[in-house]
């Protein structure tokens, strides 16, 4: 024996039927296995040694080898009937790893006698696939040897729900089918297939004829009938056999047997079924002819064309259009005469489809039938041929993708050449020509041809093909179209070069610059302006020599745009080109943009100042400083209103003290916009008054401080009430006098009120002396009752109503207002040396104690130089403690000042003649500007002939005096 199998002495004895050896080695080697897992009993069964089996059965029965086989299975496979009889009682109904039983082994090996014995023990058992012994007999066409299995195992289905008859039908075993038909007819598998369907699909005609009467009416779960399965595979005899009863049946998708035969090219089936099933459509509206066209079955299409021509599917596609989609030219030629000029739902014809896909032969066939037709967008076949569609059916199928960049361009060009003479010059619904459409794919072969036949045409937006080239970036097209279409504009005034500049196509711009330089759109923007606005430096560099000096609809030049940009490279280049000539004959003779103004009269310097561009201001300052807009605005005023401190410093020496048409200065605009940090830079503008005689103090009123603006306004109304004949001049005299005082203060950069007193002592002494002289009677001409209005001067008016105490109070008022407005005059830190320190409340004293931290030199009244002051910024949301203190002090001093003059008003106002000098009836209500005389009521104002009745000077404006109880709104 072969020791390589690992056989034990017991196994060797069993193989040789050595009874003595078996008994000798039994105790030592029983149940041991060889390398395949077989026992001594299995070896004895394989060799049909009955005595040995009898000895070993009681010890090794029921054991299985590595594949799960038992001794009974080995005996059944070998056909050893005696051994089977000895083992059947102890090993029946056991299965190997595949679920196979001893009965199945006997049937597979056609051992009828053994199968007969085992059938009583192992009938109706199934292996792992669900197969029974009967199924094995049916598949192997040995059922005639095992008829007893039919009764025992019929109607059992395996894992696929296939029965024994289905296996017999699949193998074409007619006798087995006949034996099983009474038991398993009408049964279906998981997919609903019957034995007839299986036989039809596999072409077993005899079995089909046998089963048809019983299972002919049964379709599978997808609705396919036996005839459809036969047609799918081309079994025309079976189809012919079933056609009389199963014609015009449709599956769940609406497909017929004719459709299946047509798409697979089975001509005989089409011949049989065309008269019976033609003109039927599936759920998508497809006919058998359409499927033949899609699958390129020209023979079937020829048979079906007389029956099904002219049909459309649910998308409106015909069989001809479908053939065009797939380049099936034989079918195109066949169907052209039947379905030409028919279009789908979007209006496309077969010719358009062929042209769109680059089908040259199909285009030639269809052109005589469908040329000049338009789709729903008005596009022709020529338009479809000039660019590659993203919805190309071949691209969807990933076919010929590699050829798109190579052969497909040539194919489209050849298609277009077939259509030039037929469709050239036609436009779509948007007015676009084939030449315009060709820009999308930049096919120069097509463009060069169309440029000769479709030049200078415009779409509905008045765009030319050259403009469309700029929109798609087709730079090489300029060569073909520059001579014919350069210089044309669309509805917005855009040229091709402007479109190119907007898309940073610098090479396109470079080629068109000699043709379209200097052309402006509807907003007067040039290509250079667009390039600069969008930040395309290469476009700008190409056009700078051509388009400098132009202005847009707002009057903006390139220099003005550059002045507002942080990058100054363009500004520097424009300044370098100052006074240089351009080299193009159609452009301005000077490239200089210095001094140009926009529609509001603003220069580039003003734009730089407005945007806070310090470096641009430095570059433009030598060229445009001192210029004003028609309203008198300067660059300094714009910078001051925006709070650009560095720019104000640069422009101050050039434009300081200039006023606009309303008389406003840069300081007034700075204060009005709460830019108080600019006051030091504009000191020389403090004395100025605007055309309404308002000083910078009115412009500095902070509306965020509760009641502060109302308080100052009420003070003005009260001052105006002192004398109706002179109130306006009086008020403005006070503003001017104290503006001069503050000017002296700030010029010396004082940082304490003690220094203020020392610096301004001369002015104060002079003013106090004049007041003292008036009160002592040394100047008798100042009696208000006896003074004539015509000779009243500013000084006399001031002295007429003031006394030293009031003068001091008013001085304190303006000093406090100034310290609030100008950051380093902080009264709260210097109050111990203030000359009016006796006027404070407990709250003020507490504020002083909290805020006075710096040592003071009280003997000289000069603050220590190390004193640190806290800047006051009105732009912050929380007002400082110092500012709150100033506000309270202003309220207190104004209230006290007004109380002093209440008695004066009631005492002296009666001495003044307040009647209108024209009607002598109504009270004086109008103050004339600029003379300041108040002598007319509102009703006689129109009789004044625009001249003052007293001094005959021209009246430029007037101010209404408040009546008794007047409020702010009435003023």
Domain range summary for the chain, segments of one domain joined by +: 222-308, 310-438, 752-911, 913-971
Question: In which band, very low, low, confident or very high, does the pLDDT at 225 lie, cut at 50, 70 and 90?
Answer: very high
Per-residue model confidence (pLDDT) at position 842: 34
For residues 701 and 709, is the Cβ–Cβ distance under 8 A? Answer: yes
Per-residue model confidence (pLDDT) at position 734: 43
Cα–chain-centroid distance for residue 609?
A: 35
Per-residue model confidence (pLDDT) at position 923: 74
For residues 561 and 605, is the Cβ–Cβ distance under 8 A? Answer: no
Two structure tokens written together for 125: 């058992």
Per-residue model confidence (pLDDT) at position 114: 97
Pairwise pLDDT comparison (586 vs 514), residue with the higher score: 514
Q: pLDDT above 70 covers what percent of the chain?
A: 71
Average pLDDT over residues 722-739: 40
Does residue 393 surpass a pLDDT of 80? no
Average pLDDT over residues 811-832: 39
Question: In which band, very low, low, confident or very high, does the pLDDT at 109 lie, cut at 50, 70 and 90?
Answer: very high
CATH number for domain 310-438, candidates 1.25.40.20, 2.30.40.10, 3.30.930.20, 1.10.3720.10: 1.25.40.20
Per-residue model confidence (pLDDT) at position 330: 96
Burial label for 744, CB within 10 Å (0-12, 13-18, 19+), is middle
Instruction: Count Cα atoms within 13 angstroms, Cβ side, for 838.
Output: 4
Nearest residue to 163 via CA among 140, 141, 191, 185: 185
Question: In which band, very low, low, confident or very high, does the pLDDT at 849 lie, cut at 50, 70 and 90?
Answer: very low
Question: In which band, very low, low, confident or very high, does the pLDDT at 549 lie, cut at 50, 70 and 90?
Answer: confident
Two structure tokens written together for 406: 């190579």
Count how many residues are written for the chain. 971
C-alpha 162/C-alpha 241 separation (Å) is 25
Question: In which band, very low, low, confident or very high, does the pLDDT at 959 lie, cut at 50, 70 and 90?
Answer: low
Is 310-438 the same fold as 222-308? yes
Mean pLDDT taken over the chain: 78
Provide Rg for the chain, Cα atoms.
Answer: 57
Per-residue model confidence (pLDDT) at position 687: 67
Instruction: Count Cα atoms within 13 angstroms, Cβ side, for 628.
Output: 17
The architecture (CATH level 2) of 913-971 comes to 2-Layer Sandwich (3.30)
Nearest residue to 873 via CA among 651, 709, 668, 679: 679
Question: In which band, very low, low, confident or very high, does the pLDDT at 406 lie, cut at 50, 70 and 90?
Answer: low
Question: In which band, very low, low, confident or very high, does the pLDDT at 690 lie, cut at 50, 70 and 90?
Answer: confident
For residues 644 and 682, is the Cβ–Cβ distance under 8 A? Answer: no
Average pLDDT over residues 185-196: 96
Residues 641, 646, 649, 654, Cα dihedral to 10°: -70
User: Residue with structure tokens 């090479």?
Assistant: 507
Per-residue model confidence (pLDDT) at position 570: 86
- Mapped onto helix, strand or coil, the DSSP state of residue 820 is helix
For residues 895 and 901, is the Cβ–Cβ distance under 8 A? Answer: no
Per-residue model confidence (pLDDT) at position 945: 65
Per-residue model confidence (pLDDT) at position 677: 77
pLDDT digits (tens, 9 = 90+) for 349-364: 999 999 988 899 999 9
Of the listed ranges 520-529, 673-682, 951-960, the one predicted with least confidence: 951-960
Pairwise pLDDT comparison (483 vs 858), residue with the higher score: 483
Does residue 715 surpass a pLDDT of 60? no
DSSP readout, 221-266?
Answer: TT---HHHHHHHHT-HHHHHHHHHHHTT---TT---HHHHHHHTT-
Contacts of 463 (CB under 8 A, 6+ apart): 436, 471, 490
Cα–chain-centroid distance for residue 757?
A: 66
pLDDT digits (tens, 9 = 90+) for 289-318: 999 999 999 999 999 999 999 999 999 999
Average pLDDT over residues 558-580: 82
Two structure tokens written together for 620: 């433009």
Does residue 399 surpass a pLDDT of 90? no
The architecture (CATH level 2) of 222-308 comes to Alpha Horseshoe (1.25)
C-alpha 225/C-alpha 216 separation (Å) is 8
Per-residue model confidence (pLDDT) at position 943: 67
Average pLDDT over residues 722-750: 39
Question: In which band, very low, low, confident or very high, does the pLDDT at 839 lie, cut at 50, 70 and 90?
Answer: very low
C-alpha 537/C-alpha 101 separation (Å) is 88
Nearest residue to 822 via CA among 945, 724, 676: 676
C-alpha 112/C-alpha 98 separation (Å) is 22
Contacts of 333 (CB under 8 A, 6+ apart): 365
Does residue 234 surpass a pLDDT of 50? yes
Q: pLDDT above 90 covers what percent of the chain?
A: 60
Does residue 124 surpass a pLDDT of 50? yes
Per-residue model confidence (pLDDT) at position 836: 30
C-alpha 289/C-alpha 19 separation (Å) is 81
Average pLDDT over residues 683-690: 74
Does residue 758 surpass a pLDDT of 80? no
Pairwise pLDDT comparison (729 vs 277), residue with the higher score: 277
Does residue 811 surpass a pLDDT of 70? no
Name the phi and psi angles at 559, rounded to 5. Answer: -60, -40
Nearest residue to 851 via CA among 870, 865, 864, 835: 870
Per-residue model confidence (pLDDT) at position 796: 35
Per-residue model confidence (pLDDT) at position 930: 64
Question: In which band, very low, low, confident or very high, does the pLDDT at 46 lie, cut at 50, 70 and 90?
Answer: very high
- Which stretch, 418-422, 440-444, 547-551, has highest mean pLDDT? 418-422
Per-residue model confidence (pLDDT) at position 89: 95
C-alpha 635/C-alpha 625 separation (Å) is 8
For residues 59 and 33, is the Cβ–Cβ distance under 8 A? Answer: no
Question: In which band, very low, low, confident or very high, does the pLDDT at 783 lie, cut at 50, 70 and 90?
Answer: very low
For residues 467 and 499, is the Cβ–Cβ distance under 8 A? Answer: yes
Pairwise pLDDT comparison (707 vs 554), residue with the higher score: 554
SS (H, E, C) 926-948: EEEECCCCEEECCCCHHHHCCEC
For residues 672 and 702, is the Cβ–Cβ distance under 8 A? Answer: no
């Amino acid at each position: 024996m072969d020791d390589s199998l690992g056989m034990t002495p017991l196994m060797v004895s069993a193989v040789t039927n050595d009874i003595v050896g078996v008994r000798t080695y039994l105790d030592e080697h029983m149940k041991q296995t060889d390398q395949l897992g077989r026992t001594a009993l299995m070896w004895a069964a394989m060799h049909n040694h009955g005595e040995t089996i009898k000895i070993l059965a009681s010890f090794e029965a029921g054991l299985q080898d590595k594949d799960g086989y038992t001794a009974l299975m080995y005996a059944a496979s070998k056909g050893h009937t005696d051994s089977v009889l000895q083992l059947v009682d102890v090993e029946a109904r056991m299965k190997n790893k595949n679920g196979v039983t001893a009965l199945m082994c006997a049937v597979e090996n056609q051992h009828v006698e053994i199968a007969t014995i085992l059938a009583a023990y192992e009938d109706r058992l199934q292996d792992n696939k669900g197969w029974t012994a009967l199924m094995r007999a049916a598949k192997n066409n040995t059922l005639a040897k095992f008829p007893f299995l039919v009764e025992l195992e019929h109607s059992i289905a395996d894992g696929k729900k296939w029965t024994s008859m289905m296996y017999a039908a699949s193998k074409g075993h007619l006798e087995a089918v006949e034996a099983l038909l009474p038991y398993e007819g009408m049964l279906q598998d998981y997919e609903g297939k019957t034995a007839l369907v299986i036989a039809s699909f596999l072409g077993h005609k005899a079995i089909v004829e046998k089963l048809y009467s019983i299972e002919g009416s049964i379709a599978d779960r997808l609705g396919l009938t036996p005839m459809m399965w036969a047609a799918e595979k081309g079994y025309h005899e079976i189809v012919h056999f079933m056609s009389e009863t199963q014609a015009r049946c449709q599956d769940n998708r609406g497909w017929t047997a004719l459709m299946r035969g047509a798409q697979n090219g089975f001509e005989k089936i089409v011949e049989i079924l065309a008269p019976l099933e033609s003109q039927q459509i599936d759920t998508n509206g497809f006919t058998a002819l359409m499927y033949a066209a899609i699958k390129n079955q020209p023979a079937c299409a020829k048979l079906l064309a007389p029956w099904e021509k002219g049909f459309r599917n649910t998308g409106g596609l015909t069989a001809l259009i479908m053939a065009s989609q797939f380049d099936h030219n034989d079918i195109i030629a066949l169907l052209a005469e039947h379905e030409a000029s028919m279009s789908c739902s979007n209006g496309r014809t077969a010719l358009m489809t062929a042209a769109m896909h680059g089908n040259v032969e199909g285009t030639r066939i269809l052109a005589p039938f469908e040329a000049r037709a338009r789709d729903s967008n008005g596009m022709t076949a020529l338009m479809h041929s000039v660019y590659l569609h993203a919805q190309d059916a071949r691209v969807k199928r990933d076919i010929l993708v590699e050829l798109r960049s190579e052969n497909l361009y040539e194919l489209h060009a050849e298609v277009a050449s077939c259509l030039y003479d037929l469709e050239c010059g036609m436009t779509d619904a948007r007015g676009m020509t084939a030449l315009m459409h060709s820009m999308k794919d930049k096919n120069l072969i097509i463009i060069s041809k169309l440029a000769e036949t479709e030049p200078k045409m415009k779409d509905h937006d008045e765009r030319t093909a050259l403009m469309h080239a700029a929109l798609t970036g087709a730079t090489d097209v300029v060569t073909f179209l520059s001579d014919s279409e350069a210089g044309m504009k669309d509805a917005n005034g855009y040229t091709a070069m402007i479109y190119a500049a907007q898309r940073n196509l610098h090479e396109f711009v470079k080629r068109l610059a000699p043709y379209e330089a200097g052309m402006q759109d509807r907003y007067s923007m040039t290509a250079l302006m667009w390039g600069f606005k969008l930040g395309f430096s290469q476009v700008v560099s190409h056009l700078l020599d051509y388009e400098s000096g132009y202005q847009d609809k707002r009057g903006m030049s390139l220099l003005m745009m550059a002045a507002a940009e942080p990058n100054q490279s363009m500004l520097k280049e424009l300044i370098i080109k100052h006074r240089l000539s351009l080299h193009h004959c159609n452009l301005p003779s000077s490239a200089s943009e210095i001094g140009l103004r926009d529609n509001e009269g603003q220069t580039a310097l003003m734009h730089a100042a407005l945007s806070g561009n310090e470096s641009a201001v430095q570059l433009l300052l030598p060229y445009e400083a001192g210029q004003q807009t028609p309203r008198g605005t300067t660059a300094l005023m714009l910078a001051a209103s925006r709070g650009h401190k560095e720019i104000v410093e640069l422009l101050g020496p050039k434009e300081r003290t200039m006023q606009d048409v309303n008389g406003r200065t840069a300081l007034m605009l700075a204060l009005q916009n709460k830019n108080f940090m600019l006051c030091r830079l504009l000191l020389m503008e403090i004395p100025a008054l605007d055309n309404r005689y308002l000083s910078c103090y009115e412009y500095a009123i902070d509306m965020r401080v509760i009641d502060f603006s109302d308080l100052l306004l009420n003070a003005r109304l009260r001052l105006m009430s002192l004398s109706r004949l002179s109130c306006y001049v009086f008020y403005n005299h006070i503003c001017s006098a104290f503006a001069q005082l503050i000017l002296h203060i700030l010029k010396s950069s004082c940082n304490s009120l003690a220094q203020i007193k020392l610096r301004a002592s001369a002015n104060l002494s002079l003013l106090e002396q004049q007041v003292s002289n008036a009160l002592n009677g040394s100047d008798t001409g100042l009696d208000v009752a006896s003074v004539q209005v015509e000779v009243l001067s500013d000084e006399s008016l001031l002295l007429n109503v003031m006394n030293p105490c009031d003068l001091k109070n008013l001085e304190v008022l303006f000093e406090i207002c100034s310290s609030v407005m100008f950051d380093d005059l902080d009264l709260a830190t210097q109050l111990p040396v203030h000359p009016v320190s006796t006027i404070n409340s407990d709250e003020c004293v507490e504020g002083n104690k909290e805020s006075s931290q710096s040592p003071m030199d009280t003997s000289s009244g000069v603050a220590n130089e190390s004193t640190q002051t806290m800047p006051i910024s009105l732009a912050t949301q929380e007002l400082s403690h110092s500012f709150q203190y100033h506000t309270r002090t202003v309220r207190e001093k104004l209230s006290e000042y007004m109380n002093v003059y209440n008695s004066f008003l009631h005492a002296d106002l009666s001495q003044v003649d307040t009647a209108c000098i024209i009607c002598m009836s109504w009270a004086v209500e109008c103050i004339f500007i600029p003379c300041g005389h108040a002598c007319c009521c509102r009703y006689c104002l129109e009789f004044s002939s625009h001249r003052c009745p007293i001094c005959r000077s021209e009246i430029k404006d007037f101010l209404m005096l408040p009546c008794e109880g007047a409020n702010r709104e009435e003023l």
